[in-house]
Structure 1
Amino acid sequence: MASFYVSTGGLMCILCGPGAYKVSDCVINMTSANCEKCPKGTFQSTDNQAAYCAPCLGSCVDRYQVVSTPCTSTSNLKCRCKDGYYFKSLSADGLEGHCLQDESKPQSSSAKDFQITKSNVSRCGNSSTSILCKLNRKFPNVTEAEHTWERTVLVAVPVFSLVTSILGFMFLILYYTRKPNVIHRALKR
């Protein structure tokens, strides 16, 4: 069954499928948007109306990871822990962690594959790239560049708020400590 979206012109357009992105909206109601295949090195894993495909990771992010599935137009690079290593979760949701050497099974290859995602996937699995997985749950279909922007905003806004609050507090202190002098001068006139 096709999924639809409402275009800016008010038409019901069929979403682009996995492996493609939207170039323009449909021009006839209930028809497909104008879609193009994702360029090499990019992907879209779901039906979408995205203006571009997400960039694939060039490599696994942990030195104890190996590529289990290369990037395709419909999925990002998938990684797993190297043989002799296992995924150690550091959070309750299982999204934060890293690959550790398996002392009891030095040649173990039973580690699950996990996907390092940059789009909204059903699960991130055993990923050591927790920030991407956590952001993907909050911000589906967002690229790495946009994740960087989100991280910048998440840091900049509280810092700006703190500085503004401190300056406002200092202004109030100065205003109220000088206010009696202003009132005193006005009464002398």
Structure 2
Amino acid sequence: MMAGTGHQGRCSVAIFLLLVCENISASTPKPDLEKKQCPAGDYVSARNVCCNKCPAGFKLKSECPGEGQRSNCELCPERQFNDKINHFPNCRKCRVCKESNFEYEVSPCKNDRNAVCRCMDGYYKHVIDSGTYDCLRCKECRENERKNQTCTPERNTVCECKENYHRVKNKCEPCRNCTTNCANLCVKVTQVTEAPKGKHNLIINIIAGSAAVVFVLLVVVVFITFVATKRFTKKKMLSQSSQHADVPKETKEHLLVDMNEPAEVISLKATGLNPVNDQESVKLPDCVPLEIRIPDLIYAVLDLVPVSQVKQLARLLGVRDREIEQEETDHRSCREAHYQMLRVWAERGTREGRDEMLHRPLLEELLDKLRQMHLGRAAEELETKYPIQ
């Protein structure tokens, strides 16, 4: 009895385990078949076979029976079309252009394209959805409006307000205030933008630098002008003083002429010459001067000897300090005073100051003193100008 009971219990457990396994297997989802990849222009049929699609203007009558075989396609019937390659079992109905809808047929329907309809003149296409539209009458512009876009079969008229008008509640009203649509009544305000501080400082620095350069240039120009004017004035004063120097007049000899003497002798006496001296003077070379005038020599010396050494030269030539001081007191011009100092020396060697010609020994003395003062160049120039025979 107990053995039968144990056997029955084991059978119940086995049945329970079988039921659990079936439930688990039933609840486990079966893996989907991999989607088949077909070349372009083909599709996966119900048999999981790649079949070719039907061309435009045809519909699918039956799928291909297997790989490498063709689908059975059929031409769309009249008033039906398919405008793309497909595997549809049916064709689409052609559009009918209705005169009641204010449209007319532009292109008829064929098996590979739909009919093309267009709205009549004075009407435009009002699209409702991708496949539905109505032909509505074109809009007429109202008072104070003008056409911005003319009505066409594809779009309606676009109206806008005339100049100096703006739209208020779908009506064009005259402009009275400054608004977005009435910009002509608005005062233009010029916006001034401040330059960045860096650029502003740079501009200030450039202006300041330019002003400084201009100021320096002006100072330099003024200084140069002042120096040039001062030198010119000094030179002019010196030239004026030299021009007003007292130059002694040449003494004239009065000759007594005997009326009984020949005319040639009378003319020679009048000129202070004799026939022998005249012939000798003619025979002298052109480079040897016949006479040395004291004023010319003194001015030549003053041009060659530095101003600071003129008084030293006068002392070496025998002019006393008292005479030098007297000439400086009597003549305010430095050049004129120097001239008179040297003239004191020159007149001592002439005929008691009555002769304007310098004797040769005095010239030799002058040249020696110049060489003693290390003014050899001045001595050479004087010797070249007044050669000593």
How would you bin the TM-score normalised by the shorter chain?
0.3 to 0.5
- TM-score normalised to structure 1 length: 0.48
Larger radius of gyration: 2
> Comparing both chains, which one has the higher relative contact order based on Cα–Cα distances under 8 Å and sequence gaps of 6 or more?
1
Normalised to the residue count of structure 2, the TM-score between the two structures is: 0.25
